Structure 1
Amino acid sequence: MAPKNQARDNREARERLRLYQARQGLHDRQRRRRKRDDLVGVGVLVLVAALATGSQLAFAGSRAEDAPAASASSTATPTPSASATAGNTGTVPSKAIADGATWTGTLTLNKDVRLGIELDGKAAPQAASVEIDLIRKQFYEGTTCHRLADSADFRFLQCGSANGDGTGDAGFQYGPLENVPSDGRYAEGTLAIARGASPYSQSTQFFIVYGDTTLDGSTGGYTVVGKVTSGLDDLERKITSKGIASAGSDGTGAPKVATTITGATIREQD
């Protein structure tokens, strides 16, 4: 029988391997889906070319002003691509991990932006426990920050998707929402959990609020799991101030400075 510490290390190693394999599996599925969509796209282009002459009159009355305008309002919320669920799915890390305590650590981006972080195990015990567990298992290392919002009153950097593009998870989704601001205001430095339509669609993604931000609270808001205690100046100077590569309809998009999580640490505060 293996010594206690060795047995624990073996379990943690197996869990890290499982998380890595889950990310790889999701990545492979995404690649196959893109290949399939490319093939479908070729077929559609051929069909469009064949019908082009006959369709010119049909669309002659369309006007650019009839199309909805892109907006950077607070209705564009920091959510991952996740299906709505009625309850927890998969094996969610125990709520007891956070132990009702304050946890401190670091989050390093691109090797040279070092953020001090603090997780609130009392106000958000489930979310804090998930983040502690993921950090301990080195889940975040090598993942990217794929989404940036940089307009007035709407400033955050979203990180932590398994596939680096807003998709994927660690094999679980969880709820409920915790420690949600009643007024929809997320102060500069807030660390919050991203989600899909359901309050039980939280998983690995989180967002860093680097400027006071207002988000739509009509669907319940977002769990505030903690805060950034240092390094926001470096984050803005080296990453967020450089802007968005290509904004989507909600005004957000991938940051011009490609951003990768290169390190993360966490420990219970003494």
Structure 2
Amino acid sequence: MTREQERAAARRRAMKVDAKRAQQQREAARNRQALGVVVATLVVVAGFVFLSTQLKNDTTPAAAPKGSSASATSAPSATTAAVAGCTPAPPVPTKITKVAKPNKATAAGKTFTAVVTTNCGDITLRLDGAKAPQTVASFVGLAKAGYFADSPCHRITKVAQPVPLFVLQCGDPMGGAGTGPGYSYGIENAPKDGKYPRGSLAMARTTDPNSNADQFFIVYRDTDLSSVPAGYSIFGTVTGGMDIVDKIAAAGVSGGATDGAPAAPISILKVAVTEKKA
């Protein structure tokens, strides 16, 4: 091989080395780019998982009144507000006595007066068995069984938007932690326009229309629940003692929230029911 041929061969070898090095650099660049995409994707996925977890763990109550199972709020906290005319609330019961489902025929076409004695005074209710026979029969049966004794009204709402909700919710002896009386039933007499005027007495429930049981709510300010499918059973009206509900509402929600345990604890001590004769 001549000297010129040797030089040419050397140049070819050098070109091959340079080409290989360039190829290696290009592959390394592609690998770094791919790794960057993978890392960015993992960061996005991790962020999404974290956000989803946080949203799932969000305990902010829904706007609609809650029912008698896991969706109910907890018992009143230690944060209290002094309200004139109220005595200290009794301890929250630790168990619920199961009651057989009353026959709606016992209330059909009848009107009852219920005097709900609370630690803040008496609230008088008119129960309409003509429009909501099963609901009234249930309420009367639970009252006569002493089911509501010492039960706290565990929820007050002061929600203006997006769903106006102004109610005091009661009826669960364990302050929202109970599982109900052992039966449930469907909706009766829900207003078609979704409007619940001040003084309305209605049943609380879960998203299941057939989950009516023990919990009920008193509307202390006109409330519009037209956005809630099926609505809630109106089974009576408050005829006395709205001033008591008003001052509990005025005291606000424990912790300064808009939905939760009343800052001023109110509990049902007993409920006396009498049938109103024609």
Does the CA contact (< 8 Å) of 1:149 and 1:252 recur in 2? Answer: yes
Partners of 1:70 and 1:168 lie apart in 2 by 19
Alignment partner, residue 147 of structure 1? 155
Q: Note the residue ranges of structure 1 that are not aligned, 5 or more in a row.
A: 1-54, 85-89
Partners of 2:208 and 2:107 lie apart in 1 by 24
- How many angstroms does 1:166 deviate by? 4.8
Give the AA of the match of 1:253.
G
Tell me, yes or no, if structure 1 residue 254 matches structure 2 residue 265. Answer: no
Give the AA of the match of 1:259.
I
- How many angstroms does 1:234 deviate by? 2.5
Alignment partner, residue 134 of structure 2? 126
Q: Deviations over 1:15-68 (max 9, x none)?
A: xxxxxxxxxxxxxxxxxxxxxxxxxxxxxxxxxxxxxxxx9xx66xx99xx989
Alignment partner, residue 25 of structure 1? none
Partners of 1:81 and 1:204 lie apart in 2 by 7
Give the AA of the match of 2:131.
A
Does the CA contact (< 8 Å) of 1:174 and 1:202 recur in 2? Answer: yes
Alignment partner, residue 124 of structure 2? 116
Alignment partner, residue 198 of structure 1? 208
Q: Deviations over 1:230-254 (max 9, x none)?
A: 11013212x1110001366xx4100
Question: Which of 191, 201, 208 is 1:181 aligned to?
Answer: 191
Aligned residues: 198
Does the CA contact (< 8 Å) of 2:168 and 2:245 recur in 1? Answer: no
Residue identity (%): 34
Q: Secondary structure at the match of 2:259?
A: coil
Does the CA contact (< 8 Å) of 1:113 and 1:235 recur in 2? Answer: no
Does the CA contact (< 8 Å) of 2:193 and 2:226 recur in 1? Answer: no
Q: Structure 1 residues 220 and 247 mapped into 2: Cα distance closer, same or farther (>3 Å)?
A: farther
Question: Which of 112, 115, 129 is 1:106 aligned to?
Answer: 115
Question: Which of 78, 100, 103 is 1:94 aligned to?
Answer: 103
Larger radius of gyration: 2
Alignment partner, residue 144 of structure 2? 136
TM-score by length of 1: 0.66
Give the AA of the match of 2:152.
T
Give the AA of the match of 2:142.
L
Question: Which of 243, 264, 268 is 2:271 aligned to?
Answer: 264
Q: Deviations over 1:85-128 (max 9, x none)?
A: xxxxx942101111411111211221x32111000000000000
